[in-house]
Amino acid sequence: MPATVRKDTAMRVENKVALITGGARGMGASHARLLAEEGAAVAVADILDELGRETVDELLADGHRAHYVSLDVTDEAAWGRAIAEVEEALGAPTILVNNAGVGGTVGGVEVEDASTWNATVAINQTGTFLGMHTVAPVMRRAGGGSIINISSILGFVADGDGFAYCATKGAIRMMTRSAALKLAGDGIRVNAICPGIIRTPMNEMEPELDVYIDATPLKRLGEPKEVSYAVLFLASDEASFVTGADLLVDGGYVAQ
């Protein structure tokens, strides 16, 4: 049965438990903040332990339920430990945001080597796989959930310098669709968000930043919270009939 859509959109993820990878800073911290403000208990997962704990301390100080868990997303055993820790601290996660990622090597296919390729694939693609793989049984036992994978506009259109990054972000889109089909019967929705150029520490170091802004119809960087609102929608019961989808938050970049 379709979920009833609430007329009052306040506390849109109340009583849900969310796990956000790469949640210590940037978009991940923004997602954690908004989900907490909308009623979720949030687990911030990262390898940046000091920053992650600071992010959680800020949420706790504001009266939210939050917990920090140290997690290397490339480590399958670490995923199992992290999920168990979150269950003990907050309850079974019914929202997973696979946000952790790296930009990879700049320079294109001839500059890329096996070492840099493997490192980018391990974090962006394998990390996303391990998150879905580990959380699915937990969500199934909980009666369902929402998995949100962060892809990119560069999963739609190529950048000649970002060979491994484009490959992993394109792969995430197809992984999302495959998982969505397999897990639909368990009440687990799986969707991808594909941001454009967002104002984050990683993107502000991008040497071609002005080129991307000029190529964006809205002629500006996106703000992390603009992506977080897409995360909130897909995490909430308002998106109860949405699975296997790509949600572009890109200022019109891919529409051209």
CATH of the domain at 155: 3.40.50.720
Sheet arrangement for strand 95-98:
66-70, 41-46, 17-21, 95-98, 145-150, 188-195, 246-249
**214 part of a folded domain:** no
* Domain presence at residue 120: yes
Task: Kindly report, residue by residue over 39-52, the tens digit of the pLDDT.
Answer: 999 999 999 999 99
pLDDT of residue 10: 64
Residues of the chain with pLDDT under 70: 1-10
Q: Is 255 inside any structural domain? A: no
- Asked whether 51 and 59 are in contact (CB, 8 A), the reply is no
* pTM of the shown model: 0.94
Does residue 211 form part of some domain? no
Q: Is 182 inside any structural domain?
A: yes
Residue 97 domain flag: yes
- The Cα–Cα gap between 1 and 177 comes to 22
Query: Do residues 172 and 155 lie in contact, with contact meaning Cβ atoms separated by under 8 Å?
Result: yes
> 224: closest CA among 85, 32, 80?
32
> Per-residue DSSP letters for 95-151?
EEEE-------SS-TTT--HHHHHHHIIIIIIHHHHHHHHHHHHHHHHT-EEEEEE-
Direct distance between the N- and C-terminal alpha carbons of the chain, in angstroms, rounded to an integer: 38
pLDDT for 98-142, tens place per residue?
999 999 999 999 999 999 999 999 999 999 999 999 999 999 999
Whether residue 152 lies inside any domain: the answer is: yes
**Residue-number span of the structural domain to which 70 is assigned:** 17-194+224-246
Q: Is 140 part of any domain?
A: yes
Domains: count for the chain: 1
Q: Which of 68, 165, 229, 253 is labelled catalytic?
A: 165
Which are the contacts of 118, defined by CB distance < 8 A and separation ≥ 6? Answer: none
Q: Is 68 a catalytic residue?
A: no
Q: Which residue has the tokens 């390729």?
A: 117
